[in-house]
Amino acid sequence: MSTELERTESARASATAPAGVDGIAVVARTQGQMVRRRFFRHRAAIAGMLTLAFVILLAYTSIGFGPVTGWWDKTYVSTGPVIDGGRPTLGLVPNFLGGDGIRLGEHPFGQDNVGKDYFALVMRGTQRSLVIAFLIGIVVTVVGTLVGAIAGFFRGRVEGVLMRLTDTMIAIPTLIFAAVLAAVARGTGNIIVLGIVLGLVTWTNLARLVRGEFLSLREKEFVESARAVGTSPWRIIHKHILPNTVSVITVTATLTVAAGILLETALSFLGLGVQPPDVSLGSLVSQYQTAFQSRPWLFWWPGLFIVAIALSVNFIGDGLRDAFDPRQTRVRA
Amino acid sequence: MAIFIIRRLVISVLTLLAATFIVYVGTAVSGDPMQDLYGLQDAGDAERQMDERRRVLQLDTPIPLRYLSWLAGLLRGDLGQNIRGQDVSALLANAVAATLQMVIAATVLAIVFGIVTGIASALRQYSGFDYALTFAAFLFFSLPVFWVAVMLKQYVAIEFNNWLRDPVIPGPVILVASAINAVVWMAILGGDRQRRLTTLGVAFAAAAVSLEFLSATQWFADPGLGPVAVLVLAVGAAFGVTFLISGFRYRPPLVSALVAAAVGCGFYLVSEPVLADPSVWMIPLLAMATVATGLAIGYLLGGLQRRQAMVTATATGLLTGGVIMIDYLLQAYAGYAQRVRGRPISTVGSQTPNFQGDFWQAGLDSGGHLLLPTLALMLVSFAVYTRYTRASMLEVMNQDYIRTARAKGLTERTVVTKHGFRNALIPVTTLMAFDFGAVIGGAVITETIFGWQGMGFMFITGLNQVDPAPVMAFFLVAGGSVVVFNMLADIAYAYLDPRIRV
């Protein structure tokens, strides 16, 4: 598998595209370009990306974050009078079809029992979940790749130690491990610590896969020739082998982020994740689970957002997996 | 092989010990065990209770030493005491049964349904059925277990129980359900346009007629199968099993299956004294008798297709036995319904308190309580198995040896079941080990929601109270089973795949 540098050089060498046998123009493309083309033809992945982008924009611009204010006029902490039993004022059925008309109203997602605006609460929870998801992605990628690369490349005792550590962590079911370690983050009350802790719990899968890739790639001729020329091990790893494992890393990291979101919401549901007064989608579901009969909107909206985020990330991961797979014959690159 | 197993066993035990250390230390530092005592009114009493707790939890010794003393206790067979001084082993014994029921039921169902749908999806790649199933699998992946569980509580339990008061199926529901049934059967059986239209029509008509019949007779209020239904189902099972295993080209397997079904129905007619209130070991005994009878029938009537006939007869026998058991369960429902005031699907606890009943009523009780948690747990596992089996099956079906098998002239059925299916299953065994850990994590959540006093509940309570003993007991069982499953998966993998030299 040639790296991008070698491919672009050969592409530049044959700059003109000669007409092929059936009049199909033969265009030389780099691996990155091919992957991108295949990805953008995967409709579910595009839908996932658009949904995720929409959710991120909505969550961060609506109520704002830090010093930046948003366009939504209510905050997630201010209580007030409960109007109309807290029912949502969101209207989707237009007037001429007999509905309330398409409108947002004062409280599109309704209000909870102390009069807080539920839209602001759900947006706040989404913000928290997105931050944690992003942190999990970074930590998993960095730690998993490092451990897998070192173990796979250097082998010997280093690999033994690292793999025993990984196996020990795998022996503990993920939720249990996360529950026990999340207590550390509970003490500090800082959501960044929680994100890092959750990342430290879920990196093992990526490490195993990266190690597997490294084990097979280090036997290839281009590694042997690099070593023969006297290249240092770190340069071999990061310039020769790592670019070829990008596919595995990207796909696994994306799918781990999706699982991480569900893990965080589950922990918050059990009361072990994001602590009050801060809000998480899981803690919202937990708080209002008994209200399902009387005030179902309190239960539906956070759940729908969790599903939307996790589903989009899963579709993006699947699209990436199909895009990186060279045997994929369905979509012509 | 033996050395391989022993080596794996030793490494697994050491890994588990290291993991126990991590969990113990994590629990011990996770918070303040005296939290609830700070707010007590009586200062003297609070002081006394704090001293007592300090003694029980050994708070004056450093954490690693506490771990060592726990380990020493474990080697003596003593799991310690929880924060209230109760013996953890006793608590664990009660809790394990409840949790294991749920976890095993969910895992087995997820495996069976997941593998079947995965294979069907792979064989019909890029069809509407495949896309629908793929989307459903993705959806189930992304569902939070706790959200699903609460929705199930509302829709499946409360609404269903309400509906049972007047179990009439409305007309539009019958039409929609029949349409769905017809579409699913059409997708599964495939074929050319004429065959698809026939399947559509027949499936729609069959579903509509049965549902109308069930609704009109208010069957759900007092269910039961009766000899006629049992016979029809047994014969249907015979045909289905033969279709899967050997096809209809040769008679003997089909004949043996039908004979087995007939024997099963005959047994059903005289089974009253045996099955009215059987003891627990009667059921496995009957299962073994069924297998023996099936094998005998197949052997005697099999002719040239002896092996296939034995398999079809045994499978049909077991399925007929299952149908008979379902009939007994349904007939016990009338008596059971009175005790639960007409609400069989329960949302709290693992059994009705102070319940006394015969074998079938107890079975209904367990089932009613198991249904929702198992369903919630099953969904995610099912999605994972479907995707994995589908990917694995697709890879296998593109191999050269499948092409060779087809070129040899084997029927598609033989190619799929004998060559494709077995090889596709090999990577799935590794998945079983990994998935079991996820199911245990999910069990913690479902136990919290459905109020089961199981291991997960013990874990969460222990963690909240910063009490290591019950947490460690839970982890020993959970982590131990994960490790055992991992080892079994490795052994199965080495056994199934002849390319792996152990």
pLDDT 10s digits, B49-68: 888 778 777 777 888 888 88
Minimum distance, in Å, between the CA of residue B367 and any CA atom of chain A: 24
B75 or B348: whose pLDDT is higher?
A: B75
Which of these, A311, A252, A177, A162, lies nearest to B437 by C-alpha position?
A177
How far apart CA B362 and CA B167 sit, in angstroms, is 23
**Which residue from A171, A173, A293 is facing B15, i.e. has the nearest CB?**
A171
Task: Select, from the ranges A226-230, B34-38, B358-362, the one with the highest average predicted confidence (pLDDT).
Answer: A226-230
The percent of residues above 70 in pLDDT, for chain A, comes to: 89
Count Cβ atoms within 10 A of the Cβ of residue A329 and give its class: 0-12 exposed, 13-18 middle, 19 or more buried: exposed
Q: Do A171 and B27 touch (CB under 8 A)?
A: no
Contact B351, B366 (CB under 8 A): yes
Q: What pLDDT score does A276 carry?
A: 80
Band the pLDDT of A272: cuts 50, 70, 90.
Answer: confident
Of the listed ranges A12-21, A39-48, B432-441, the least confidently predicted one is A12-21
Mean pLDDT, range A55-74, rounded to an integer: 83
* Angle between helix B421-450 and B455-464 (nearest 10): 50
B391 or B189: whose pLDDT is higher?
A: B391
Q: Do B154 and A180 touch (CB under 8 A)?
A: no
Chain B (384-443) residues lying within 8 Å, Cβ to Cβ, of chain A: 437-438, 440-442
Rounded to two decimals, the ipTM of the complex is 0.81
Long-range residue pairs from A149-154, CB within 8 A, at least 24 positions apart, any chain: A149/A210, A149/A211, A149/A214, A149/A237, A149/A241, A149/A242, A151/A207, A151/A211, A151/A214, A152/A210, A152/A211, A152/A212, A152/A213, A152/A214, A152/A215, A152/A218, A153/A214, A153/A218, A153/A233, A153/A236, A153/A237, A153/A241, A154/A233
Q: Which amino acid is at A132?
A: I
What are the residues of chain A with a beta carbon less than 8 Å away from any beta carbon of chain B? 164, 167-177, 179-181, 183-184, 186-187, 258, 262, 265-266, 269-272, 282, 285-286, 289, 292-293, 299, 303, 306-307, 310-311, 314-315, 318, 330
Q: Is B32 on the interface with A (CB under 8 A)?
A: no
Nearest CA in chain A to B151: A292
Q: What's chain A's average pLDDT? A: 83
Minimum distance, in Å, between the CA of residue B40 and any CA atom of chain A: 23
How far apart CA A41 and CA A332 sit, in angstroms, is 9
Minimum distance, in Å, between the CA of residue B430 and any CA atom of chain A: 13
Q: Is the per-residue pLDDT at A332 higher than 50?
A: no
Q: Do B145 and A266 touch (CB under 8 A)?
A: yes
Residues 6+ apart with CB under 8 A from B18: A164, A168
Contact B150, A299 (CB under 8 A): yes
Q: Is the per-residue pLDDT at B174 higher than 50?
A: yes
A67 or B456: whose pLDDT is higher?
A: B456
Q: What pLDDT score does A203 carry?
A: 93
Residues of B in contact with A287 (CB under 8 A): none
Which of these, A168, A143, A205, A270, lies nearest to B25 by C-alpha position?
A168
Mean pLDDT, range A165-193, rounded to an integer: 84
Q: Is the per-residue pLDDT at B410 higher than 70?
A: yes
Residues 6+ apart with CB under 8 A from B10: none
pLDDT 10s digits, A186-219: 777 788 889 999 999 999 989 989 998 898 888 8
Count Cβ atoms within 10 A of the Cβ of residue B137 and give its class: 0-12 exposed, 13-18 middle, 19 or more buried: buried
Which of these, A225, A250, A226, lies nearest to A319 by C-alpha position?
A250
Q: What's chain B's average pLDDT? A: 84
Mean pLDDT, range B185-209, rounded to an integer: 84
Of the listed ranges A119-128, B102-111, B433-442, B469-478, the least confidently predicted one is B433-442
What is the CA B373 to chain-centroid distance, rounded?
A: 11
How far apart CA B146 and CA B128 sit, in angstroms, is 30
Q: What pLDDT score does A18 carry?
A: 53
Q: B407 by DSSP, 3-state: which?
A: helix
Minimum distance, in Å, between the CA of residue A157 and any CA atom of chain B: 16
Q: Is the per-residue pLDDT at B429 higher than 90?
A: no
Residues 6+ apart with CB under 8 A from B329: B360, B363, B364, B367
Q: What pLDDT score does B502 carry?
A: 55
pLDDT 10s digits, B366-395: 888 888 889 998 988 899 899 889 988 988
Name the β-bridge partners of A103. Answer: A91
DSSP H helices, B409-450, are 412-414, 421-450
Q: What pLDDT score does A87 carry?
A: 78
The percent of residues above 70 in pLDDT, for chain B, comes to: 99
Q: Do A270 and B448 touch (CB under 8 A)?
A: yes
Q: Is the per-residue pLDDT at A98 higher than 90?
A: no
Contact A65, A120 (CB under 8 A): no
Q: Is the per-residue pLDDT at B404 higher than 90?
A: yes
Minimum distance, in Å, between the CA of residue A180 and any CA atom of chain B: 6
Q: What pLDDT score does B470 carry?
A: 87
B322 or A297: whose pLDDT is higher?
A: B322
Q: Is the per-residue pLDDT at A3 higher than 70?
A: no
